[in-house]
Structure 1
């Protein structure tokens, strides 16, 4: 390794301050910017990074971890003995069965595969069940193994090129549904395997809806991996939008909805970069697409609709670290038209981030309690919610600390 190479923040025995400086530099943030976002002075940041001040307390560490988009606290603290995953939830009891189905080759299957129409109907019911259930991961964990195997078998037994393309489209969307189950569980390799297989099947299908949906999920997977993968997320989004453009004049509402969902993903990634103008510009494009679809339209996979644009506005403002604007958007958002319980819970979590960013910690906790009521399995696997709850368990205000502890217990964060 050359002498001027950037040190590896994951190599011991680097101190907390050294790791913080390296991770901050890799994200391209200056000390004054980090200080402002943390509510500290630039000299405080410098003293921490140079070791003049020791490791901060947990609430501050959690705030730094979110700002630097650290996925595991041990990456920042260097303590590998008790890692706390911020953006990876607990492994679901049905994860092994889903993993086995994904990995199966179906080479020895001698039964007749269900028809593509039958599989499409089952898939539609599975998507609906996912939106309606509070314990949506449990529901998906029951449905996915058989659905994955049957869709794989349908592709293998296709008699014609047209039948094979139709089966590939269904298989791709089965993999897309699978990503909602696998995401934020402790098997990142499985997540990427599902995402890649879904994209391959979508391309084989030549179906613009399947391709757009696979790209939408792949964009999220790249972005969630961290700032080093923002370019890959943007590339995926733009390539998919360019491909779909030729189909839009004659496309049905589903394809237009996927295009709108991808436009929002461009807004989301721009917001993560801190690009205010680009973020709101792409959000405006997505909103225009939603309005063209009409007030009553709701895409069954992405939740793209007019109703969701208010929730998306909260996310953009939060990622831009605009506390006042994010709260304004949270107050303005109409959640009454979001029929999906997990999507509503996700919106509540984004609202909680907005309130905490604005210094309204009590309201943030109350909003997370609403998220838990809507869909407990959504908040349990969400890293931002876990971070807020853990931070507030160390609040100096006893009532708030007790409220956070009760929610942490419900989420399983206090388990030994």
Structure 2
């Protein structure tokens, strides 16, 4: 390894503090940024990284792992110290290899005629409906996606006119968007980025405002989830896409106005991750006004945007701002049953659980995670925030909380039965 290269935490059993510094650097964070997200002073991070302080207790370690998006607990504390527990990258789904193969292989020589864009769009609509209605939504998507990806790629290749090619690209872009929901939080970051970038390219080729908005929404999320060093890129994609959509909105159909609202909330989400409270709530207000302008009961099939989701979004903003009391207030107000999508309803339950946990209401947090599991087991199985709460509660001093957390840990595959 070059002496100038970043040390690899897998090569040597380096101290905990050195591991923190390695992952902080890889995330593009300063000590001040990490300290702010942890509720400490930069000098505390400096002492941790310099080995001048002992390794923190488990709750603090898990919070560091959450902020740094460390894949497994062993990566942070050492391979011989704890069980090899996945945190913010879930287990690889059994159908991931088949989806990966379809994404990686392009159809060049084939005697088979491609389905029409209209036929593919109908299959896409069926796939989105199945995704929202299924508790095991990754299983459903993993079954549908390989053929859908190959057929959409083939439709682009066999297009005979510019208009037909643009239409096929719009469908292909949405297929990649659907694929990103399957690939997210699985152990293949390179595949996630490949899907996001291909979706954005296909959307631009389509010249379709809705396809462009959806692809931008997902790409901004990929940047934001990569850490503070990528927040500027997330903002640039979000704001530039909103500028592009702005002159189209007065006469735009509901789906285009909805994707603009979803992007407005994404800007607020990133601001909350930066701990910029006023900016975060300002964008949430804009998104709420956009949601109110949509037809009654409207629910965007990709982003889940609509009036029903704004309460859930308010919980997320408050939690990301680390505002315990406000998080609980929003969690209490926000209704889960009004969210039609089972995976999105489960995600909302997890955000509610984070709010209760932040406020010290650990039993309520566990109860809420159990509701999330009932709504969509595959959502909680792949969610790092839920896994962190479960792992911490397994170490609780309260026997009943330990039992409930252990039972949930077994159900979501974190712990052996």
Give the corresponding residue for 1:61: 61
Q: 1:168 to 1:43 in 2, by over 3 A?
A: closer
3-state SS of 2:100 partner: helix
Cα distance in 2 between the residues matched to 1:378 and 1:35: 25
- Measured on the aligned residues, the alpha-carbon RMSD in Å equals 2.6
**1:99 partnered with 2:100:** yes
Alignment partner, residue 152 of structure 1: 153
Select between 159-168 and 28-37 the one with higher mean Cα deviation: 28-37
- 1:155-177 deviation digits (Å, cap 9, x = unpaired): 11111100000010001000000
Provide the C-alpha distance between the structure 1 equivalents of 2:34 and 2:359, rounded to a whole number of angstroms.
19
Match in the other structure for 2:29: 27
Change (3 A) 1:28 1:340: same
Q: For 1:212-237, what per-residue CA distance to the aligned partner results, in whole angstroms no more than 9, with x for missing partners? A: 00000001111111111111111111
Cα separation, partners in 2 of 1:22 and 1:168, compared to 1, 3 Å: closer
Q: Are the structure 2 counterparts of residues 76 and 151 from structure 1 closer, same or farther at C-alpha, using a change threshold of 3 Å?
A: same
Structure 2 unaligned segments of length 5 or more: list them.
none
Contact conserved, 1:152 with 1:171, CA < 8 A, in 2?
yes
Matches within 5 A, 1:203-282: 203-282=204-283
CA 1:388–1:204 in 2, change beyond 3 Å: closer, same or farther?
same
Equivalent residues of 2:37, 2:67 under 8 A apart: no
For residue 65 of structure 1, report the CA deviation from its aligned partner.
1.8
Once residues 170 and 141 of structure 1 are traced to their aligned partners in structure 2, the CA distance between those partners, rounded to angstroms, is 18
Is the Cα–Cα contact under 8 Å of residues 35 and 45 in structure 1 kept in the other structure? no
Q: Counterparts in 2 of 1:48-127, with a 5 A limit? A: 48-79=48-79, 83-127=84-128
Number of equivalent positions: 413
- The answer for the alignment partner of 1:415 in structure 2 is 416
Q: Judging changes above 3 Å, is the alpha-carbon distance between structure 1 residues 184 and 36 closer, same or farther for their aligned structure 2 residues? A: closer
Contact 2:130 2:137 in 1 (8 A): yes
Q: Does the CA-based 8 Å contact 1:12-1:78 persist in structure 2?
A: no
Q: Please, what TM-score do these two structures have when normalized by structure 1?
A: 0.92
In the aligned structure 2, how far is the partner of 1:148 from the partner of 1:289? 32
Residues 167-193 of structure 1: CA deviation (Å, up to 9, x unaligned):
100010000001000111111111111
2:39 match: 37
Closer/same/farther in 2, CA of residues 301 and 7 from structure 1, 3 Å limit: closer
Shift of residue 64, structure 1, vs aligned partner: 2.3
Q: Secondary structure in 2 aligned to 1:246?
A: helix
Q: Where does residue 298 of structure 1 map in the other structure?
A: 299
2:365 counterpart of 1:360? no
Shift of 1:70: 3.7
Deviation at 1:67, TM superposition (A): 3.7
d(CA) in 2 for partners of 1:176, 1:101: 14
Q: Secondary structure at the match of 1:231?
A: helix
Contact 1:220 1:233 in 2 (8 A): yes
Alpha-carbon shift at residue 15 of structure 1 (Å): 1.8
Inter-partner Cα distance in structure 2 for 1:35 and 1:159? 53
Instruction: Tell me the CA shift for residue 274 of structure 1.
Output: 0.6
CA distance, structure 1, for counterparts of residue 107 and residue 255 of structure 2: 31
